[in-house]
């Protein structure tokens, strides 16, 4: 409702007016917060006027307008000649337009405030100009300014070249200008966009699309505890445009890979709720406890899951801080890099409402292919006989002969467990809505989001519950900025994020893994309740022996789990301009509390299992025999899972100083005091129940001379409660220098070609205090009631006492890790179109906490002793390149790419002094794996006898088993023969590239993402056909498992008939052959891939159409993710690496609309 | 105004800084540290119990190799417990089975136990509220335990590093790399500790109701006797098999010269221990008919005595009872001796192989293959029990010759098809339970996972008062008899024979043991019944007799495995094929065909445990045992 008329020197508002406005905003806000009036319409704005007047006094015309509009028109007769005669013809024209046409020729302007219209004079110089132009031919130029996505841009300055005439676009991106004559040039400019010049001939409408600028002189980057201009930056901070992180997923972290120069990211699972990607800034540079970055949303530390739940539409900025200069201010917490996110705040202007709706279909990118049931049985028999000629086979030949899929599903089961339990695809919905706006005194941004993610599990018709994964995530955010006085700003941020989960009792990944461990031919998922069981209330699940086999169908159907997660955050911030003390000084205080809660509950019955009995082979009749009559239940039992509750309080107080002296010397400083307290409600032990605290003072000092030479100094002086009093505080300084070569005088001649050249270098120390899972590592921890160390005495064993055990030995020297980081960067801008940023970094991480590895058992320590002994080095480069081009005529192209290479190595690692140099960690990558070198498969038993002995486990090594190399030539294969094999498991290279192009209202974008130089291992135990396998930390309640047969193994394995020495799978076996299960090069695979991560096609409704619909913007789009992958590995999605039998990564097709009013 | 605001801001900032000074002190006082363990008697007692908690689980089938790693008991080949894995030849250096050095694979980390003992000894003097006498007693107990842990390691690994005192946590790497010390030094140190312990311990536990299981001087002396006999035995004394086993600091770890002085010391220790034990009231257990019990035959009475000597917890024969380790009787009890009560409570899956059955003497007290009157050649022939056999074998039941006319210890120790199983709730010996274990019968296979592979059961380990109820099994537990008087008697006989040869004194204690089992003295039995009547008159012959006597008397008590090793007879004895009866047959003729179960092999290297490869990497001053 604020008019962006000619820019005027507004009179200061009267306090009363301000308070009224504040009250109004507050009222509006409370309504919004109640969430009851989402459709708070902006329709009443379109007040229209019809007038036909000729040579009437202005006062009369204004009266008429007053009458028609119901608005109050105010003016002062002393300044305004109300008797002047005016003419006007208007038919249903907007009020503003009518007033504009009426008043502008009179050198008057107006301001609409609620139902009041105030009329004032233009400034004298304008009036002169304006009156001059009145004499000549005038024409009205109007138009729209939009961004490359078609969204209207408000606040764009439209200036007439070589004049002082300029207007700003309104919230709908519209502008109007009166010009005389021809050959004028309009300049469109806005912060963050490439300025555009348009030469006018005699057109009256000018529509302009502004490109986002990647190197705008005024671009502001969010850095630790403040902002800096992009051109002044010395530290290494990548600012990602939030829209680049928009993927059709409810998980923000899945968008990181390949989008951010300097971030190594990958995703290992596609299960809703558990699909957080792993991401590391500049790779993993420590082998200590915490390797992932510090994540801050609006300055407050949050978890990865909180970040994952963030809505892209709510993001104002997304910064990744990489080097010491950027992170030293976080002192003891910044060594692994920092991700700093800020959320949007309200902008002054009329209420803007926008929403986004998406519906997507997801299906696994690739399913693991299994062998058919007949092959399964045949090879199962082969597996038994090939190891022991005399053993009994599991499947009689008659059964194999009769198993024609579908022939008799109960007598001769041939179960496709995956088909029984998993759907081909699922659909997910996402909706979010935001409302923002406000006046001068207060601005608000309120948003809500709802995501529904469904799993791909089938809900079988027999099931009593919805067992499919259904993850609903809700979030609500309200950010309100208030100006209390001219110098005081008060900000309230409220944010809640909530997950409601419903799913199978042990999760989706577990169902996938169970499917992989159930024989397809042993029993049917369930049997029909025939005549004799018609009174039975329960499902007759299939099983064998004593009913102790896994039946994934029963596991899925038997019950369900519900869980709930809440995160509430309330934040107050006060900003005070302290210019009255000294110019450029300001103060800021922020207090925040975060509450997290999680619980889960599962309800399930114990399934009844049946098997066939009294089978009559002639008639194929059978009876059902119950296997666990006493064990099953028809009623539900329930179990409570873990409950997590914690609360975090955070506070920061900062003084800022920023001033320019003599137009050349820019000086800025910052001092900030931070305080953090976290308390866990169910910590589990006395020491962990104590509060977690951090406290520190940080500071920054920057100086630049004439936008050419820059210097910056940062420090963090931090304390952590975890350390001994003598080690509690640490000082983490950093410094950096930069030189903008292209701003030098001598560069002028090259400026056209090399528009920007800038060199930066930084060095500093940053710490990491999250060095171990235990608290107070400096203290000893003693369990005074150790039941495992107790004893009992007496003739009736009645005198017993618990013992005392050491949980941790004291070591007061324990302190944080230190990262000595250096960074060298080159920024290059070419032809104002190409932007290149290349950075080289080195890091020396010292004081890494590690268990002292070479204390022999004879010392008798009951637990490992940790010390800050380890050291590691890392280095790498990250490069990003952007290219923007506007070909005119509505056709534009934007493309960019980035590349991250990060490698690391152990430099100090306590380990035994090995005789065999290859066993040492020193010099190896932090995620390097050791294993045996597999040469080939053994030809036969004679070959085994003539080779170095391989004594692993109990099953004798035979022909067709893997032959390892005796690296140290001692005649036997032992752990000393393990050498570093393959690449590290964390990829060394992650890259991405993509382009967006648009033509008029259409846009198309595509993004490719890849990863290189990583290795992973096919799990030889989990995939070993026919054997029983239980994952570590998995409780199957003693259930028997029998692994499925991968089709790839069925097609390529060593057999006595086909002695393929390089077959994919060695000689079959129905028991674990531990010789083949060792980590070796045999099952090592290259994790490199390149995938089409995202393709998007969008259409924005033309402006005139949206205007007619009273909308600001309307875009409809379709996109897809993970569409296609190039990789040498075919068994499952290569990005899942060793986790291939789990819940697959999803391919998503999505359609959405995005609209704003 | 401005001035006021300035002052306000500075004030607020300063207040924040000052109030935060203590902000990081979140640790309250009284956080539990090791100092609290010795601040009062009750916590110190906990630490004492902690020292006890490292005692090996003597009665555990998996943790005590005595049961399943030797040849006394066997189980199904599918059984995966760690001691059985040794028998199946899976011992290795990467992750050794029953690793008592580092802890792992059913082994306790005994060096951690030794560290706890040292911590106790370092700190016990600080406890304020204790009488000096009690402190002395506790010190004695912990010294005993420290000695026992060293001895247990030494018996497994041979020469070991001795941890006399604890190293500080921040010791340098060179300090922590301990050396293995010569075997004689190990023995000397263990004996020294036992002497120190004996000097302060009470002769016997007075208040057994709350302290049974704790260490007394009797136990210390008995252990000292066992340690010295072990040290005098061929594996430790003058073992010349390892001339190259030289410690990294140059000392040979084994002295190749046998020393008869060691036997003398052993004999003295045995005498000393027996004297004290007898003085304080230990005696061989004999069965007294209970109140209200009908009179029973001498046969049953002897057998009940033999059974109770091991499995009765209130028992004057057991010198050292480990109340912290109870044997799993459920795993030993046959499926049922009562055909009307067969259920899943009993799983009887550890059975003696045929070899152990043949080891017991004939009823004349001599080996069955030496007995002139015993029909050795017909031992596998079917035979029907007569009236005269009724207290041993069910009258009229057909079984095989091997089970007839055996000594009482056979009937007391072994459960077999047709064998009487007196007690267990039935007091009338003419209506006693008996075992039927052929296919389809009560004691045969119930599920394929649990049954005795040989169709024999170690009857002596089942308490005579256990009762199989309709749907449950009531078990009377007993603390594991680590050392009992019969053991000490036989150690004495062994040492006396080595020192003095077959003189009268040598026979004194072995004959006492035989007498309790209802047998005549050695010389008489051999003279009257043996085909080699002069065997007990030579040192070598008597040695053989004492060794067999010991294996019989202590059968299934986990002693034979260690004895075979120290006698260096394991290579002959343990390279054996385990045999049992054919469980899958229902008629006697088919059932009584010996089935080979497992070929057990024992190599020279198996005399000593392997040290984990990782430990050798961590400490290059260590030396791997030969052959590993």
In A1044-1123, where does DSSP find H-type helix? Answer: 1047-1051, 1074-1077, 1103-1108
Tell whether the model's pLDDT for residue A10 goes beyond 50: no
CB contact under 8 A, A856 and B23: no
Which of A721, A797, A974 shows the shortest C-beta gap to B94? A974
More confidently predicted of A1112 and B9: A1112
Which of B109, B323, B615 shows the shortest C-beta gap to A797? B323
Confidence band (pLDDT; 50, 70, 90) for A129? very low
Which of B37, B314, B613 shows the shortest C-beta gap to A974? B613
Neighbours of B469 (CB within 10 A): 12
Contacts of B578 (CB under 8 A, 6+ apart): B71, B74, B353, B354, B355, B453, B454, B596, B597, B598, B599, B600
Give contacts of A788 with chain B, Cβ < 8 Å: 53
Give contacts of B92 with chain A, Cβ < 8 Å: 951
DSSP classification of residue A919: G
pLDDT at A30: 47
CB contact under 8 A, A856 and B25: no
CB contact under 8 A, A799 and B46: no
CB contact under 8 A, B25 and A721: yes
Tell whether the model's pLDDT for residue A733 goes beyond 80: yes
pLDDT at A38: 34
More confidently predicted of A1038 and A893: A893
Give contacts of A780 with chain B, Cβ < 8 Å: 33-34
Q: Is residue A1010 a contact partner of residue A898, using CB atoms and an 8 Å limit?
A: no
Which of B47, B169, B209 shows the shortest C-beta gap to A809? B169
**Length of chain B as a residue count:** 628
CB contact under 8 A, B24 and A721: yes
Tell whether the model's pLDDT for residue B221 goes beyond 50: yes
Tell whether the model's pLDDT for residue A931 goes beyond 90: yes
pLDDT at B17: 56
Which of A719, A791, A954 shows the shortest C-beta gap to B49? A791
A233-246 per-position pLDDT tens digit: 899 998 888 888 88
- Determine the distance in angstroms separating the CA of A369 from the nearest CA of chain B, rounded to an integer: 33
CB contact under 8 A, B618 and A853: yes
- Determine the distance in angstroms separating the CA of A696 from the nearest CA of chain B, rounded to an integer: 10
Whole-angstrom distance, CA of residue B382 vs CA of residue B581: 13
Question: Hunting for tokens 């402190």 — which residue is that?
Answer: B135
Task: Give this prediction's pTM.
Answer: 0.77
pLDDT at A216: 47
DSSP classification of residue B29: T
Among residues 1007-1046 of chain A, which lie with CB inside 8 Å of chain B?
none
CB contact under 8 A, A581 and B113: no
Please state which of the ranges A213-222, A497-506, A614-623 shows the lowest mean pLDDT.
A213-222
- Work out the average pLDDT over B52-65: 95
Tell whether the model's pLDDT for residue A752 goes beyond 70: yes
Tell whether the model's pLDDT for residue B459 goes beyond 70: yes
Neighbours of B153 (CB within 10 A): 24
Nearest C-alpha neighbor of A573 from the set A663, A489, A498, A512: A489
In A899-1051, where does DSSP find H-type helix? Answer: 941-945, 1047-1051
The fraction of chain A above a pLDDT of 70, given in percent, is: 92
Whole-angstrom distance, CA of residue B456 vs CA of residue B359: 14
ipTM of this predicted structure: 0.93
More confidently predicted of B273 and A769: B273
Q: Is residue B492 a contact partner of residue B549, using CB atoms and an 8 Å limit?
A: no
DSSP classification of residue A504: -
Q: Is residue B118 a contact partner of residue B22, using CB atoms and an 8 Å limit?
A: no
Tell whether the model's pLDDT for residue A27 goes beyond 60: no
Tell whether the model's pLDDT for residue A134 goes beyond 50: no
Please state which of the ranges A89-93, A588-592, A709-713 shows the lowest mean pLDDT.
A89-93
Return the beta strands (E) in B305-354 as ranges.
318-326
What is the distance between the terminal CA atoms of chain A, rounded to a whole angstrom? 14
Residue B62 token pair = 């998996």
More confidently predicted of A349 and A705: A705
**Length of chain A as a residue count:** 1157
DSSP classification of residue B416: -
Test mutation, A856, A916, A950, A978, chain B, max B CBs within 10 A: A856
Judge whether A971 is closer than 8 Å to chain B, CB to CB. Answer: no
Torsional sign, CA A225, A227, A230, A233: negative
DSSP classification of residue A879: E
A271-309 per-position pLDDT tens digit: 887 888 889 998 888 888 888 899 999 888 888 888 988
More confidently predicted of B121 and A891: B121
Give contacts of A653 with chain B, Cβ < 8 Å: 13, 16
Neighbours of B272 (CB within 10 A): 15
In A49-169, where does DSSP find H-type helix? Answer: 58-69, 95-103, 124-135
CB contact under 8 A, A975 and B213: no
Tell whether the model's pLDDT for residue B4 goes beyond 70: no
Confidence band (pLDDT; 50, 70, 90) for B7? low
Torsional sign, CA B313, B317, B323, B328: negative
Question: Hunting for tokens 């309330």 — which residue is that?
Answer: A570
- Using DSSP's 3-state secondary structure scheme, residue B575 falls into coil
DSSP string for residues in A523-568: --SEE---GGGTT--S-EEE--TTT-B--HHHHHHTEEEEEEEEEE
Confidence band (pLDDT; 50, 70, 90) for B219? very high
More confidently predicted of B287 and A752: B287
Residue B21 token pair = 């000074």
CB contact under 8 A, A803 and B33: no
B512-564 per-position pLDDT tens digit: 999 999 999 999 999 999 999 999 999 999 999 999 999 999 999 999 999 99
More confidently predicted of A616 and A627: A627
- Determine the distance in angstroms separating the CA of A127 from the nearest CA of chain B, rounded to an integer: 41
Quote the Cα angle for A15-A17-A19, to 5°.
70
Q: Does residue B241 come out as left (phi exceeding 0), alpha (psi in the -120 to 50 range) or beta?
A: alpha
Nearest C-alpha neighbor of A513 from the set A1142, A1109, A1: A1142
Residue of B nearest to A783 (CA): B32
Torsional sign, CA B529, B531, B534, B535: negative
A795-840 per-position pLDDT tens digit: 999 999 999 998 888 888 888 899 999 999 999 988 878 889 999 9
CB contact under 8 A, B50 and A580: no
| C-alpha neighbours within 13 Å on the C-beta side of residue B91 | 22
Averaged pLDDT of chain A: 84
Residue A156 class from Cβ within 10 Å (0-12 exposed, 13-18 middle, 19+ buried)?
buried
Residue B76 class from Cβ within 10 Å (0-12 exposed, 13-18 middle, 19+ buried)?
middle
Give contacts of A786 with chain B, Cβ < 8 Å: 50
- Work out the average pLDDT over B91-95: 87
CB contact under 8 A, B27 and A803: no
Confidence band (pLDDT; 50, 70, 90) for B282? very high
Whole-angstrom distance, CA of residue B537 vs CA of residue B531: 14
Averaged pLDDT of chain B: 91
CB contact under 8 A, B24 and A780: no
Among residues 890-919 of chain A, which lie with CB inside 8 Å of chain B?
912-914
Confidence band (pLDDT; 50, 70, 90) for B292? low
Residue A400 token pair = 């194999």
Nearest C-alpha neighbor of A625 from the set A545, A727, A740: A545
DSSP string for residues in A272-319: TTS-PPEEEETS---SSS--SPEEEETTEE--HHHHHT--GGGEEEEE
| C-alpha neighbours within 13 Å on the C-beta side of residue B231 | 30
Question: Hunting for tokens 């079917």 — which residue is that?
Answer: B382
Confidence band (pLDDT; 50, 70, 90) for A1? very low
A630-645 per-position pLDDT tens digit: 888 888 898 898 899 9
More confidently predicted of B67 and A256: B67
CB contact under 8 A, B26 and A809: no
- Determine the distance in angstroms separating the CA of A687 from the nearest CA of chain B, rounded to an integer: 8
- Using DSSP's 3-state secondary structure scheme, residue A1070 falls into coil
CB contact under 8 A, B94 and A720: no
Q: Is residue B144 a contact partner of residue B194, using CB atoms and an 8 Å limit?
A: yes
Tell whether the model's pLDDT for residue A12 goes beyond 50: no
- Work out the average pLDDT over B474-500: 96
More confidently predicted of A794 and A535: A794
Q: Is residue B591 a contact partner of residue B435, using CB atoms and an 8 Å limit?
A: no
Which of A580, A798, A860 shows the shortest C-beta gap to B114? A860
Tell whether the model's pLDDT for residue B124 goes beyond 60: yes
Tell whether the model's pLDDT for residue B305 goes beyond 80: yes
The fraction of chain B above a pLDDT of 90, given in percent, is: 75
Contacts of B2 (CB under 8 A, 6+ apart): A580, A581
- Work out the average pLDDT over B28-36: 75
Reported as type and span, the H/E element at residue B173 is helix B173-176
Nearest C-alpha neighbor of A302 from the set A464, A495, A122, A531: A495
- HEC string of B517-573 equals CCCCCHHHHHHHHECCCCHHHCHHHHHHHHHHHHHHHCCCCCCHHHHHHHCCCHHHH
- Using DSSP's 3-state secondary structure scheme, residue B7 falls into helix
Whole-angstrom distance, CA of residue A261 vs CA of residue A1009: 12
Residue of A nearest to B313 (CA): A795
CB contact under 8 A, B53 and A953: no
Report CA-CA distances (Å) from A140 to A101, A359, A1136.
10, 44, 61
pLDDT at B25: 79
pLDDT at A4: 34
What is the distance between the terminal CA atoms of chain B, rounded to a whole angstrom? 88
Quote the Cα angle for A591-A595-A600, to 5°.
170
Beta bridge partners of A538: none
Q: What are phi and psi of A859, to 5 degrees?
A: -70, -30
Residue B99 token pair = 């690793």
């Amino acid at each position: 409702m604020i008019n962006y008329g000619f820019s005027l020197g507004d009179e200061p508002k009267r306090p009363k007016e301000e308070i009224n406005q504040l009250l109004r905003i507050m009222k509006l806000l409370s309504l919004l917060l109640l969430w009851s009036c989402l459709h708070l319409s902006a329709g009443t704005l379109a007040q229209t006027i019809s007038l036909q007047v000729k040579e009437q006094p202005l006062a009369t015309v204004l009266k008429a307008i007053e009458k028609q509009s119901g608005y109050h028109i105010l003016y002062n007769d002393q300044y305004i000649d109300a008797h002047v005669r005016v003419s006007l013809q208007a038919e249903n024209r907007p009020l503003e337009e009518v007033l504009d046409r009426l008043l502008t020729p009179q050198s008057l302007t107006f301001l609409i405030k609620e139902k009041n219209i105030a009329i004032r004079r233009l400034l004298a110089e304008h009036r002169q100009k304006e009156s001059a132009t009145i004499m000549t031919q005038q024409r009205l130029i109007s138009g729209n300014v939009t961004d490359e996505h078609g969204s209207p841009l408000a606040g764009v300055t439209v200036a007439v070249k070589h004049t002082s005439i300029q207007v700003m676009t309104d919230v709908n991106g519209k502008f109007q200008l009166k010009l005389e004559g021809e050959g004028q040039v309009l300049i469109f400019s806005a912060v963050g966009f490439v300025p555009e010049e348009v030469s006018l001939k005699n057109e009256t409408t000018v529509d302009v699309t502004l490109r986002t600028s990647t190197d705008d002189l005024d671009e502001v980057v969010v850095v630790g505890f403040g902002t800096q201009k992009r051109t002044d930056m010395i530290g290494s901070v990548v600012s990602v445009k939030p829209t680049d992180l928009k993927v059709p997923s409810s998980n923000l972290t899945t968008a990181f890979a390949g989008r951010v120069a300097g971030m190594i990211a990958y995703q290992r699972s596609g299960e809703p709720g558990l699909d957080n990607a792993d991401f590391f800034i500049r790779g993993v540079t420590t082998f200590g406890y915490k390797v992932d970055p510090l994540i801050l949303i609006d300055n407050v530390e949050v978890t990865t899951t909180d970040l994952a739940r963030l809505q892209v539409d709510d993001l104002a900025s997304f910064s990744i801080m990489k080097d010491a200069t950027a992170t030293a201010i976080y002192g003891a917490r910044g060594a692994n890099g920092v991700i700093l996110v800020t959320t949007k705040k309200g902008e002054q202007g009329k209420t803007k409402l926008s929403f986004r709706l998406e519906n997507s279909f997801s299906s696994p990118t690739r399913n693991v292919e299994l062998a058919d049931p007949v092959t399964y049985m045949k090879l199962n028999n082969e597996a038994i006989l090939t190891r022991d000629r005399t053993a009994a086979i599991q499947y009689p030949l008659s059964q194999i002969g009769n198993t024609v899929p579908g022939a008799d599903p109960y007598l001769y089961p041939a179960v496709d467990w995956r088909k029984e339990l998993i759907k081909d695809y699922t659909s997910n919905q996402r909706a979010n809505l935001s409302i923002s706006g406000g006046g001068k005194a207060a601005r608000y941004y309120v948003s809500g989001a709802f995501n529904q993610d469904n799993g791909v599990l089938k809900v079988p018709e027999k099931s009593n519950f919805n067992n499919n994964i259904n993850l609903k995530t809700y979030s609500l955010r309200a950010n309100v900025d208030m100006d209390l006085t001219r110098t005081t700003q008060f900000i309230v941020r409220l944010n809640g994020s909530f997950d409601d989960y419903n799913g199978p009792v042990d999760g989706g990944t577990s169902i996938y893994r169970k499917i992989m461990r159930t024989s397809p031919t042993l029993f049917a998922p369930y049997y029909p309740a025939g005549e004799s069981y018609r009174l039975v209330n329960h499902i007759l699940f299939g099983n064998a022996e004593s009913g102790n086999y896994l039946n994934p169908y029963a596991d899925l159907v038997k019950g369900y789990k519900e869980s709930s997660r809440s995160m509430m955050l309330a934040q107050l911030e006060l900003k005070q301009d302290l210019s009255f003390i000294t110019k450029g000084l300001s103060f800021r205080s922020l207090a925040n509390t975060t509450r997290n809660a999680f619980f889960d509950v599962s309800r399930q019955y114990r399934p009844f299992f049946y098997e066939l009995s009294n089978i009559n082979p002639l008639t194929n009749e059978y009876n059902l025999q119950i296997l666990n009559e006493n064990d099953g239940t028809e009623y539900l039992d329930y179990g409570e899972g873990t409950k997590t509750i914690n609360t975090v309080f955070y506070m920061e107080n900062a003084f800022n100083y920023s001033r320019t002296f003599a137009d050349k010397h820019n000086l800025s400083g910052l001092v900030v005091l931070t305080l953090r307290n976290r308390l866990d409600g169910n910590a589990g032990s006395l020491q962990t129940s104590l509060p977690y605290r951090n406290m520190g003072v940080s500071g920054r000092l920057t100086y630049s001379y004439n936008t050419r030479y820059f210097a910056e100094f940062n420090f963090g002086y931090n304390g952590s409660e975890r350390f001994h009093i003598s080690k509690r505080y640490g000082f983490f300084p950093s410094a950096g220098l930069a030189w903008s070569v292209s701003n030098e005088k001598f560069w002028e001649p090259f400026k056209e070609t090399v528009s920007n050249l800038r060199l930066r270098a930084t060095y500093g120390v940053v710490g990491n205090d999250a060095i171990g899972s235990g608290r107070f590592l400096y203290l000893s921890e003693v369990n005074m009631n150790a039941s495992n160390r107790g004893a009992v005495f007496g003739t009736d064993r009645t005198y017993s006492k618990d013992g005392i055990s050491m949980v941790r030995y004291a070591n007061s020297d324990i302190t944080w890790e230190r990262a000595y980081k250096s960074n060298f960067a080159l920024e290059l801008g070419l032809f104002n179109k190409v932007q290149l940023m290349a950075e080289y970094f080195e890091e020396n991480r010292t004081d890494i906490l590690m268990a002292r590895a070479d204390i022999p058992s004879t010392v008798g320590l009951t637990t490992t002793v940790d010390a800050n002994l380890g050291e590691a080095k890392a280095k790498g480069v990250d490069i990003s390149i952007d290219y923007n081009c506007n070909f005119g005529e509505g056709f534009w192209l934007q493309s960019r790419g980035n590349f991250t290479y990060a490698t690391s190595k152990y430099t100090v690692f306590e380990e035994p002094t090995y005789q065999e140099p290859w066993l040492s960690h020193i010099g190896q990558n932090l995620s390097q794996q050791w294993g045996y070198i597999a040469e080939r498969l053994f030809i036969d038993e004679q070959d085994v006898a003539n080779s170095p002995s391989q004594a692993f486990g109990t099953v004798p090594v035979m022909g067709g088993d893997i032959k390892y190399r005796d690296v140290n030539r001692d005649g036997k294969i032992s752990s000393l023969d393990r050498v570093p094999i393959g690449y590290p498991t964390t990829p060394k290279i992650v890259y991405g590239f993509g382009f967006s192009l648009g033509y008029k209202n259409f846009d198309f974008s595509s993004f490719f993402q890849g990863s290189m130089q990583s290795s992973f291992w096919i799990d030889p135990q989990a995939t070993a056909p026919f054997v029983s396998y239980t994952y570590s930390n998995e409780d199957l309640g003693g259930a028997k498992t029998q692994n499925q047969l991968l089709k790839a193994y069925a097609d390529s394995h060593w057999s006595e008939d086909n002695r393929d020495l390089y077959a994919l799978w060695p000689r079959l076996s129905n028991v674990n052959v531990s010789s083949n299960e060792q980590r070796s090069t045999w099952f090592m695979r290259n994790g490199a891939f390149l995938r089409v991560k995202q393709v998007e096609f969008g259409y924005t409704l033309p402006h005139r159409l949206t205007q007619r619909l009273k909308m600001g913007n309307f875009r409809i789009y379709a996109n897809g993710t993970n569409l296609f992958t190039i990789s040498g590995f075919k068994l499952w999605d290569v990005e899942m690496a060793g986790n291939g039998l789990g819940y697959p990564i999803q391919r998503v097709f999505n359609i959405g609309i995005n609209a704003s009013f | 105004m401005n001035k006021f605001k300035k002052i306000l801001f500075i004030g607020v900032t300063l207040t924040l800084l000052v109030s935060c000074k203590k902000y990081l002190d979140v640790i309250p006082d009284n956080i539990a540290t090791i100092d609290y363990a010795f601040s009062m008697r009750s916590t110190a007692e906990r630490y004492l119990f902690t020292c006890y908690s490292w005692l090996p689980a003597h009665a555990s089938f998996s943790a005590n190799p005595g049961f399943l790693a030797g040849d006394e008991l066997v189980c199904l080949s599918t059984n995966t417990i760690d001691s059985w894995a040794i028998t199946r030849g899976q011992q290795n250096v990467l992750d050794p089975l029953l690793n008592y050095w580092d802890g792992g694979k059913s082994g306790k980390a005994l060096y951690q136990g030794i560290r706890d003992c040292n911590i106790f000894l370092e700190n016990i003097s600080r406890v304020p509220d204790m009488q000096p006498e009690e402190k002395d007693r506790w010190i004695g107990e912990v010294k005993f335990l420290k000695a026992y842990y060293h001895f247990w390691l030494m018996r497994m690994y041979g020469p070991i590093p001795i941890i006399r005192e604890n190293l500080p946590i921040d010791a340098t790497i060179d300090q922590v790399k301990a050396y293995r010390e010569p075997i004689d030094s190990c023995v000397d140190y263990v004996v020294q500790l036992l002497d120190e312990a004996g000097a302060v311990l009470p002769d016997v536990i007075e208040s057994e109701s709350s302290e049974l299981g704790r260490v007394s001087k009797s136990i210390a002396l008995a252990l000292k006797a066992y340690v010295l006999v072990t040290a005098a035995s061929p594996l430790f004394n003058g073992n010349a098999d390892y001339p190259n086993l030289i410690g990294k600091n140059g000392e040979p770890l084994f002295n190749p010269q046998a020393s008869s002085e060691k036997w003398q010391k052993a004999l003295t220790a045995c005498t000393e221990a027996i004297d004290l034990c007898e003085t304080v009231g230990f005696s061989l257990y004999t069965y007294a008919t209970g109140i209200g019990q009908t009179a029973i035959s001498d046969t049953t009475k002897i057998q009940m005595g033999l059974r109770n000597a091991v499995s009765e917890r209130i028992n004057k024969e057991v010198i050292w009872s480990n109340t912290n380790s109870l044997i799993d009787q459920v795993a030993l009890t046959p499926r049922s001796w009562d055909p009307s009560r067969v259920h899943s409570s009993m799983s009887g899956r550890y059975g003696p192989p045929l070899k152990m059955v043949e080891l017991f003497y004939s009823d004349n007290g001599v080996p069955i293959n030496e007995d002139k009157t015993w029909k050795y050649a017909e031992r596998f022939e079917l035979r029907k029990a007569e009236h005269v056999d009724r207290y041993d074998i069910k009258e009229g039941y057909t079984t095989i010759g091997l089970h007839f006319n055996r000594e009482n210890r056979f009937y007391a120790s072994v459960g077999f098809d047709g064998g009487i199983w007196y007690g267990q709730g039935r007091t009338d010996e003419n209506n006693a339970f008996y075992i039927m274990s052929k296919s389809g019968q009560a004691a045969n296979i119930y599920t394929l996972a649990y049954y005795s592979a040989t169709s024999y059961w170690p009857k002596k380990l089942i308490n005579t008062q256990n009762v199989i109820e309709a749907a449950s099994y009531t078990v009377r537990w007993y603390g594991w008899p680590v050392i009992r008087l019969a053991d000490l008697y036989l150690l004495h006989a062994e040492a006396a024979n080595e020192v003095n040869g077959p003189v009268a004194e040598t026979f004194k204690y072995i004959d006492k043991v035989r007498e309790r089992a209802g047998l005549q003295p050695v010389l008489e039995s051999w003279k009257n019944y043996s085909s080699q009547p002069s065997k007990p008159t030579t040192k070598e012959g008597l040695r053989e007799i004492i060794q067999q006597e010991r294996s019989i008397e202590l059968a299934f008590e986990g002693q034979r495995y260690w004895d075979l090793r120290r006698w260096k007879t394991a290579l002959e004895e343990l390279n054996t094929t385990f045999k049992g009866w054919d469980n899958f047959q229902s008629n006697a003729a088919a059932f009584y065909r010996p089935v080979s179960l497992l070929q057990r092999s024992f190599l020279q290297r198996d005399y000593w445990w392997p040290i984990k490869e990782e430990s050798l990497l961590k400490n290059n001053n260590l030396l791997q045992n030969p052959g590993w």
